[in-house]
């Protein structure tokens, strides 16, 4: 699969000259539905910007629809998977970007069977039989994978190929990144109709 979901940049939020108030921004509301309103408010505060733009793909059901469609069309010869942005917040201060928060989801290139390997077991925490978490997968990035067998997916799609959720923001602390990540994952999984829905924990899994 090729292509990346195009971001539709929302209107400027409060703090911007002539912009809409935060409560009136459609994109802001979509992010709050996906990630939790208090989490989004906290994330915006960490960026330190006075001007904020919000973009992303509308709502969890749209993300789920695109992921399911991709699962049904996946070919074993194509290892790439499309990444869909659920919410992106860009904050500006003094003519430059002061911080960015991004939440995205895709079918992972990692399988659950890889999690027991020495390479991955050093960084991944197992939350339960179908969910693993990597708290620091890169600078300011946390990642969660969750098994989701999609009814009607073609037989060539590996059964242990999970969904992958990423939240990135260098201004975010680990706990806030986790809050955003777990709420985001639950929002999308609830719309996926997985044959055996994964249980996304509300607390960060402990180090083994």
Residues 16/51, Cβ–Cβ less than 8 Å: yes
Q: How far apart are CA 206 and CA 47, in angstroms?
A: 28
Quick one: pLDDT at residue 97? Answer: 83
Give counts: helices (H), strands (E), the chain. 5, 7
Average pLDDT over residues 105-128: 90
Strands 84-93 and 131-138, by their bridges, are unpaired
Q: Which distant-in-sequence residues (6+ apart) come within 8 Å of 101 by Cβ? A: 43, 44, 46, 47, 87, 88, 89, 167, 168, 169, 171, 172, 180
- Residue 180 parent element (H or E): helix 174-192
pLDDT attached to residue 57: 66
Strand partners, 103: 87, 167
Question: What pLDDT, on the 0 to 100 scale, is given for residue 39?
Answer: 93
Structure confidence at residue 85 (pLDDT):
93
Q: Measured between alpha carbons, how far is 60 from 193 in angstroms, rounded to an integer?
A: 12
pLDDT at 18 over 50: no
- Residue 9 pLDDT: 28
Place of tokens 């971001």: 7
Q: In this model, does residue 122 exceed pLDDT 80? A: yes
CA distance linking residue 197 with residue 195, whole number of Å = 6
pLDDT at 120: 87
Judged by average pLDDT, the poorest of 37-51, 69-83, 87-101 is 69-83
pLDDT of res. 101: 92
Looking at residue 64, its pLDDT comes to 93
Strands (E), 29-188: 51-55, 84-93, 96-107, 125-128, 131-138, 141-146, 163-168
Query: What mean pLDDT is predicted for residues 168-196?
Result: 93
| Nearest one of 160, 169, 189, 207 to 67, comparing CA atoms | 189
- Read off the pLDDT of each residue in 129-144 and give the average, rounded to a whole number: 91
Residue 56 — very low, low, confident or very high, per pLDDT cuts 50/70/90?
confident
CA–CA distances in Å: residue 149 to residues 21, 130, 158, 186, 194: 41, 11, 9, 15, 5
The span from the CA of 57 to the CA of 47, in Å, is 21
Average pLDDT rounded to a whole number, residues 41-67: 86
Whole-number pLDDT of residue 107: 92
Higher pLDDT, 167 or 92: 167
């Amino acid at each position: 699969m090729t292509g990346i979901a195009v971001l539709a940049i929302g209107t400027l939020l409060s703090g911007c000259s002539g912009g809409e108030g935060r409560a009136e921004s459609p994109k802001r509301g979509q992010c709050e539905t996906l990630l939790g309103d208090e989490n989004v408010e906290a994330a915006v505060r960490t960026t330190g910007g006075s001007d904020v733009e919000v973009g992303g793909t509308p709502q969890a059901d749209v993300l789920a629809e695109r992921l399911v469609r991709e699962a049904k069309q996946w070919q074993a010869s194509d290892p790439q998977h499309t990444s869909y942005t659920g919410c992106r917040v860009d904050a500006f201060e003094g003519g430059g970007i002061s911080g960015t928060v991004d939440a995205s989801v895709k079918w992972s290139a990692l399988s659950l069977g890889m999690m027991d390997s020495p390479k991955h077991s050093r960084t991944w925490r197992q939350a339960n039989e179908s969910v693993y978490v990597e708290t620091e997968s890169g600078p300011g990035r946390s990642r969660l994978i969750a098994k989701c067998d999609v009814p009607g997916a073609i037989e060539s799609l590996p059964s242990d190929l999970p969904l992958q959720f990423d939240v990135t923001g260098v201004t975010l602390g680990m706990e806030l990144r986790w809050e955003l990540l777990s709420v985001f994952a639950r929002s999308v999984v609830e719309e996926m109709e997985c044959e055996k829905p994964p249980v996304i924990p509300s607390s960060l899994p402990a180090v083994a």
